[in-house]
Structure 1
Amino acid sequence: MSTSTAPIAIVPALPVSRGLTSGLVMALGSALAFSSSGPLVKPLFEAGWSLTSVLAVRMGVAGLVLAPALVRVLIRQRGFVRRHGVLLVGFALTGVMGCQLFYFSAMQRMPVAVALLIQYIAPVLVVVWVWLRTRRRPSNLVIGGSAVAMAGLVLVIDLAGARFDALGTLFALGAAVCAAAYFVISERTGDDLPPLALAAGGLLIGAAVTILLGVTGIIPFAAPAVSVVVAGMEVPWFVPLLWVATASTAVGYAFGVMAVPRIGSRLASFVGLGEVLFALGFAWLLLGETPAPIQFLGGALVLLGVVAVRMDADSAGTPQGPAAVVPAP
């Protein structure tokens, strides 16, 4: 009897490990992809491009890149839009468009460092959400890891002489809530709602809503044909924008939504903090903005916090993979 039951205990552990490893790699790849957008978009803003126009092109092109995944699902599944339309719109308005509009609106009213710091409390919001949903108190590893990661984030983001603005703070908190929603909604993907279909639908809906806001004049829309300087080279406007739309946004969302079902929304949100560290590296390489020594220390603390949350996932035996993770409705 012992020989017949042994394979049952051993075999399922292998796909779980592979799913966890692949999920972590995808989450890091998503953070790396997203982090390259800031240094490339900044010259466009300085050259006269409006936020609405950048976001419309960024989301629209990325959505078209991932559109085949959505088309396949629409052909294969009757009633797909009826079953998942609300979730697609929610993902578009929060995880795709909302966090970007709120963040950039906050950035216009307060220092970038403060807006970033508030937005990146999203992992803590995910921890609170999981706590409320499961009614299980987070472990000491998660609480300690959260505190260490947030302390590291404060060091990474230079707050010297920072000022707070009431409306800007509300915008940044809105960005944090939307970022948390991105991870929570992504965890609900599976065979019936493939991750890439969610990403494509969210990006295309987000682009459509953004264009509507620009056309109606609710948000300014400007897209001049200019040249910008990137990494010391003068290039046409479409060069950095195409990179941001494809390599940054399409790849970032594709890897991100595929990673969350494998490793869970909580761990994925903490791995997402790597975007801040990668962004520092890109700003260093492309814009010549050298990080201060204290920022390197902060980066180490962020990584330490992520490792602590990762260790909790191991000790808790968290099931991984789209078939195993079934979030509460």
Structure 2
Amino acid sequence: MTTARLRATVASLLSAIAFGFSGLPAKVAYDAGFTPLQVTAVRIVLTAIVLLAFAAPFTGLPKLASWRLVLGYAVLGVIGSPLLYFVAVSRIPVGVAMVLEFLAPVLVALWIRFVRRTRLPASMWLGTVLALVGLAMIAQLFDAVSFDLVGTLAGLGAAVGTAAYYLLGEHAAKDGDPMALTIGGMVVGAVLISIVSPPWALPWHAMTTPTALGPVWLGLVLLALVSTAFAYVAGILALRHLPSAAASVLGLVEPLVATLAAWLILDQVLTVVQIVGAAVLLAGAAIVQVAAGRRIEPDTPPTL
């Protein structure tokens, strides 16, 4: 593994870990009276402000010619994925929603195989399947028996959004300016989500409500700075040297981190099945990383 790939792998893991901690501040905000849509809106708007203030002066904004890429990234990767996941968890068990959203690595692999016409090593498919099995064990999918069509479709939609996040990010990282895409996507996302969840409709009175993480406003700031700004930036920069197929599997560490965080901070119990599932997930992710290090030749010149 080259130094650049090692750094990209670490960045991708740090991104997944940061995303994984997003559930804690979001949960305390929900308990204080915020809706999932409002939390998502605050998260995106604050992140857009931070990136505009501290990153845009150095990296610039995306070019007008890339507006389709920015819009797709904003709608699918910035708004669509988290929002549809929240819809899913409001209608179906969290474990099921989690597994549906993180079918994204399979969608990424299928896109690469059939759209880009690139053959992936068999070990990469094996590692992806193993990681998904481990995720199902962590999410205790086998204990969930309820079915809801809207919730299921929302979960699958979240998977599409997550896959788009990796594929569009990889495209920008290889052929454009990934930081400009991140900034532009957040700004466009902030504008769009503010239309359906305007700032004046937020429960401002709940901002000072004390929680296990401090006042609600502090949790929301941490959500924006750590689990959004840092997570998105680290994730998209990693895609400069890490294939989207590999990065998306590393993203499966996110629900593992969320489960561990709930165990450490919220005193939720980890079962033996979940612990074994964590080991299976990490083993699958490791197999994918080894496979991603091999040179993969496309059948035809690759596209997005």
Q: Distance in 2 between matches of 1:132 and 1:99?
A: 23
Distance 1:192 1:273, change over 3 A: closer
The alpha-carbon deviation at position 260 of structure 1 amounts to 1.4
Match of 1:263 in 2: 242
Whole-Å Cα distance in 2 between the matches of residues 271 and 228 of structure 1? 34
> Per-residue deviation at 1:115?
0.6
- Structure 2: how far apart are the matches of 1:172 and 1:222? 26
Q: Deviations over 1:159-183 (max 9, x none)?
A: 3143110111001100000000000
For the residues of structure 1 that align with 2:237 and 2:37, how far apart are their CA atoms? 27
SS of residue matched to 1:110:
coil
Alignment check: 8 A CA contact 1:58 1:241 kept: yes
Quick one: distance in 2 between partners of 1:216 and 1:249?
Answer: 19
Do the aligned residues in 2 keep the contact of 1:30 with 1:252 (CA within 8 Å)?
yes
Residue 10 of structure 1 corresponds to none
Aligned to 2:100: 118
Structure 1 stretches of at least 4 aligned residues deviating more than 6 Å after TM superposition: none
Structure 2 counterpart of 1:245, from 209, 219, 224: 224
What amino acid is the match of 2:56? L
1:51 aligns with 36
Q: 1:295 is matched with which residue: 269, 274, 277?
A: 274
Conserved? CA contact 1:50–1:223, under 8 Å: no
Correspondence 1:136-175 to 2 at 5 A: 136-159=118-141, 160-175=143-158
Between 236-245 and 192-201, report the one with greater CA deviation.
192-201
Equivalent residues in 2 for 1:183-202, closer than 5 Å: 183-190=166-173, 193-202=176-185
**1:150 Cα shift?**
1.2
TM-score (norm 2): 0.91
Number of positions where the alignment pairs a residue of Structure 1 with one of Structure 2: 298
Aligned-pair distance for 1:73?
A: 4.6
Residue 195 of structure 2, aligned match among 192, 206, 212: 212
2:303 corresponding residue in structure 1: 328
Deviations 1:118-162 (A, max 9, x none): 000000100000001332343220121122111111111023143
Residue type of the alignment partner of 1:167 = V
**The one of 160, 175, 199 aligned to 1:177:** 160
Offset at residue 223 of structure 1 (A): 2.1
Once the two structures are TM-superposed, the CA of residue 192 in structure 1 deviates from its matched residue by 6.6
In the alignment, is the contact (CA less than 8 A) between 1:114 and 1:162 conserved in 2? no
State percent identity of aligned pairs: 33
Q: Deviations over 1:192-228 (max 9, x none)?
A: 73222211111121111111012499xxx54242214
Q: 1:45 to 1:216 in 2, by over 3 A?
A: closer
Instruction: Please report how far the alpha carbon of residue 313 of structure 1 lies from its aligned counterpart in structure 2 after TM superposition.
Output: 1.5
TM-score, normalization by structure 1: 0.85
Which residue of the other structure, out of 106, 109, 113, is the alignment partner of 1:131? Answer: 113
Q: What is aligned with 2:203? A: 223
Matched, 1:90 2:69: no
CA distance in 2, matches of 1:294, 1:106: 24
| 1:39-74 Cα deviation digits (max 9, x unpaired) | 221121122112222112111111222224334454
Report SS of the residue matched to 1:109: coil
Q: Tell me, what secondary structure is at the counterpart of 2:46? A: helix
Q: Which runs of 5+ in 2 are unaligned?
A: none
